[in-house]
Structure formats: structure tokens, C-alpha cells
Amino acid sequence: TKQGEHKFTAIAKNEFGTSVSSNEVTIDLDTIAPVIKEVTITPIDTAAKADDTAEATLIVGVTDTPHATIIAKDKDGNFLGKADANDKGGFVIDAKPVNPGDKLVFEVTDKAGNTSESEFKAGNLAHPNDHTAPKVDIDTVTPVDETNPSDGTPDKGIVKGKSDEPNAPVVVTDENGKTIGTGTTDDKGNFEITTDPIKPGDKVTVEVTDKAGNKGKDTETAGDMDIIHKDLPEAPVINEVIDNVKGYEEDTKVGNVLDVKGHLTNDSTPTIKGTAKAGSKVEIYDNGNKVGETTAKSDGSWEVTTTALTKDGEHKFTATAENKFGKSAPSNEATIDLDSIAPKLDNVKITPIDTNSKADDTAELTMGTGHTDEPNAEILFRDENNNIIGKGHANKVGDFVIQLDKAIQPGTPVFVQAIDKAGNVGTDRVEAGNIEHPNDHTAPSEPTITFVEDINPKDGKLNKAEN
């Protein structure tokens, strides 16, 4: 049961006694298999220009059994290399190539023939013969403004160049050493790296690391900014022309003039609304003359209240949008018909009428008549408290004959209004005239003269005494 030295002797016995001891035979018992305590497996790329392919493998380890024999095999049992441990158990094996991460099996046998197996994984590839840093050439460093529309501020950078190291990691840093972009060279060594925003004149450094860990660098200054969206803005669109001027108290004809038949309005400062490219300057023109400007909001909407339009009649509005690259084509044309002149009234009469067949000089109805220079205008009659007491329309030549809703007595003031289709109102103040009696056509009875006799006897004659 004990490992180590064992000394054997023998004696012989018979009926006459026991012999003296035999000669001594000594053995050294070892039944414990050796163990690898540690091992490092390093695939080696021996090329002067590292290609990341192992041409050899260096195995360094320690076993607990000096002078043990160590055999390295791959996972399929194929022989890779062999060595004997030194007097301290250390060993070095120059093995066949393996790849990083490969599993290797080690068989360790001591001089007594005890054997054990253990498994270890290959480490990273070493490149002991490549000490040359990659070459790096930066072609361009370009600040890029990709905002639409352009705002003249860089949103990113693009760094282009080449290296003699294909498929290698690339790191871009600013002049303070801060990493602003990373990437990889392609299979030909070219690279194009998108970075954090950089400005014209900024210095950037590109570092390429080869497979052996050697680092090559180049530094370059950023050039002019590349503006992506530098085309002219699209033509704006006019959607509405808003009339917000009431013509008279009951007038509700406000809103989008373009929805009104004939596009008629009485608003000489209409508000024009539309859409354009966000941030662009929008200018409004009336028959080619500028009447306002604004800036399109972030959602592209805009509105402009024009300067006062001094001429009645047709107005054709267009709009243009302008940014740093120039001015757009004109928008659609929005046409309005401006009428800001109030109708005129003349020959207005308010006639109270006594309708009784036997006139009593009390008006039972009242007629309003007159003329306006606005054919088909709406006619309103108001009392002194501004209450509407009658309404109607002028005919196609401007004449009107309208019965009021209530009877007006002679001398009563009445306000007469003529309103055109644009909502303009003209007003005249008239007092009710004399009352008319159109239905009493019976003349008064002939008068009878009588006298009184105050002296008797009454004989139907006036005498001197009765005079």
C-alpha cells in the first residue's frame, strides 16, 4: 500500500529448523499516474507579414513528475508533438500547427508506466516575426450637413482612405484623442468611416491595427463641408385666402374666400395660408407686386396678412419659397375679387299708409322705396334702436319697394342699409313722410246751414228782432 522503496528477503524452514536470511532484493513502487499542473498552448504565425495563419505551435507546461514523457494530440487523436519533462517537471513541445481555441489532449507517462490524460484549449495566435506597422493614407476628411433643408451645420463626418492592411480594425480620433468613429478596412485595405460631427479645419487621426498588433497612423485636416440637400425648395402651395372682415353686424361671410362663389371679398388685408419647405422664406405677390413675407414653420405651414390692397377688382396671389440656395418656382395662383366700396342709396322714402276705407290718420303699414347703385343688394330697415323692422332686395337695376314689418308713423326716423354681395354696407337716414290714405275715396257730405229761432212763434223766418 505504500509507494516507494520495498526490500524483500526469504528464509527456509523444515523439521530441523529455520535457515538464515537470503540475499536482499529492493524495488521502488510507483502506481500513481503523473498530472500536468499547467500548460500554455500558443499557435504561432511565423510569417514576416502576419497572415493570421499558424505555421507552428509552442506548448509550455509543468507536470508533477520530473522526466515524464508528454505527448500532445489533437481532439481526433492525431499526434502533434512530444517532449520529456526536465528534473523539475517542466517541458516544452514544438508542436504541429493548431488554431486558437482548438482542444488538445495531453498524455503523460512516468517511468513506471503510469499514464494520465488531460485536455487544454489553445490560446491566441502569436506573431513574433511581424514588427512592421501598417501603412495608412487618409484621402479625404469631409464634414457633412445632411439636414433637410440645409442649416449649414455639420451633422457627421466621413473619413476615406486606404491601408496596406486588409480587414483590419480602424479607429478615428479627434485632435484631443477622443474616438469619434470606428470601422474596418475592406479586403483591399480601403476604408470609409462615418464619424461624429466635425467642422472644416478640424484635425483627425486614423489608426489601423494589423493582426500582429502593430499600429499605423495618419493625420489629416477636414476639408469643406458637403451639403446634401442643396437643391432649391419646392414651390409653395397656397391653400386658403381668409376674409376676416364682417361687412355688417349680421354678416357671417368670413372664412376662406376661395370657397366662395366668384371668390368675392370685402377684406382689403386678407390672410393667405399655405405650405412650403420648413424654414424657407415665403414671399407673397399680388399681380407680381410683393405684399408680404414670412418663414415657414417646422411643419411647413405659413400664413401672411397682406399689406392693404388699394384697388378693387381681381387680385391674383402667388408665393415663392427661398433658402440659401435660391428661390423656388411660383406657387399655384389664388384669385380673389375685392369689393370694398359700400353701395350708395338715393331717393329713399318711407311712406306710412292708412289702409282704412274711412281714413283715421293712423298708419297700418309702411312702404320703403328707393334706389341703390348695387343691383340685387340686400336692403335692411332699422329703427333707432338698431332693430331690423324690414328687409328685402333691390331688383336688377337697383330699385326696391319693400313693405316694412311694422307700421311707422310720419316723422319717425328710419335707417336704411344696402348690402352688396361682398358684405359692404351703405346707410341712409330717412324720416317717414306724410301718411297716405289709398283706400278712402268717399267725399264728405254737402254742408247744411241751419238757424235757430229764439222768438215765438217760430215761423221759420228770421225777423228783425231775431237777427
Residue 406 lies in a domain: yes
Examine the fold and report which residue of 122, 152, 170 is the final residue of a domain before the chain moves on. 122
Placement of cell 405650405 in the chain: 275
Residue 5 lies in a domain: no
Placement of cell 508506466 in the chain: 113
State the CATH number of the domain containing residue 457: 2.60.40.10
Residues 48 and 88 in one domain: yes
458, HSE (Cβ side, Cα atoms, 13 Å): 5
Residues 364-374: what's their mean pLDDT? 94
Mean pLDDT value across the chain = 89
Residues in CB range of 113: below 8 A, 6 or more apart? none
Residue 16 lies in a domain: no
More reliable by pLDDT, 321 or 33: 321
Residues 379 and 443 in one domain: yes
pLDDT of residue 331: 94
Residues 347 and 461 in one domain: yes
Residues 54 and 100 in one domain: yes
> Is 60 exceeded by the pLDDT of residue 372?
yes
* CA–CA separation, 327 and 303 (whole Å): 18
**147: amino acid identity, one letter:** T
pLDDT of residue 296: 96
Residue 63 lies in a domain: yes
pLDDT of residue 449: 66
Residues 362-388: what's their mean pLDDT? 93
Give the max Cα distance, the chain: 233
Q: What are phi and psi of 259, to 5 degrees?
A: -90, -5
Residue 354 lies in a domain: yes
Residue 2 lies in a domain: no
Residue 23 lies in a domain: no
More reliable by pLDDT, 113 or 123: 123
- For the chain, report the end-to-end CA distance as a whole number of angstroms: 194
* CA–CA separation, 451 and 458 (whole Å): 11
pLDDT of residue 361: 72
Residues 367 and 443 in one domain: yes
pLDDT of residue 383: 94
Residues in CB range of 189: below 8 A, 6 or more apart? 162, 163, 164, 165, 166, 168
Residues 161 and 188 in one domain: yes
Q: Model confidence at 463, in pLDDT bands (50, 70, 90)?
A: low
Examine the fold and report which residue of 77, 97, 122 is the final residue of a domain before the chain moves on. 122
Please count the structural domains in the chain.
4
* CA–CA separation, 440 and 436 (whole Å): 10
- By CB atoms closer than 10 A (0-12, 13-18, 19+), residue 156 is middle
- Per the DSSP assignment, residues forming a β-bridge with 312 are none
* CA–CA separation, 286 and 293 (whole Å): 12
What is the value of pTM for the model shown? 0.44
Q: Are 187 and 177 in contact (CB under 8 A)?
A: no
Residues 304 and 360 in one domain: no
DSSP, collapsed to helix, strand or coil, labels residue 388 as strand
> Is 60 exceeded by the pLDDT of residue 399?
yes
Residues 219 and 259 in one domain: no
Q: Model confidence at 364, in pLDDT bands (50, 70, 90)?
A: confident
Residues 251 and 355 in one domain: no
Query: Structural domain of residue 218, as residue ranges?
Result: 136-227
Express each pLDDT in 38-51 by its tens digit.
999 999 999 888 88
- By CB atoms closer than 10 A (0-12, 13-18, 19+), residue 96 is middle
Examine the fold and report which residue of 204, 227, 250 is the final residue of a domain before the chain moves on. 227
Residues 375 and 447 in one domain: yes
Express each pLDDT in 427-448 by its tens digit.
999 999 999 877 766 666 677 6
Q: Are 173 and 180 in contact (CB under 8 A)?
A: yes
* CA–CA separation, 253 and 424 (whole Å): 11
Residues in CB range of 437: below 8 A, 6 or more apart? 353, 354, 356, 359, 361
Residues 311 and 245 in one domain: yes
pLDDT of residue 439: 74
Residues 305 and 396 in one domain: no
DSSP, collapsed to helix, strand or coil, labels residue 464 as helix
**90: amino acid identity, one letter:** G
pLDDT of residue 48: 84
Residue 197 lies in a domain: yes
More reliable by pLDDT, 420 or 457: 420
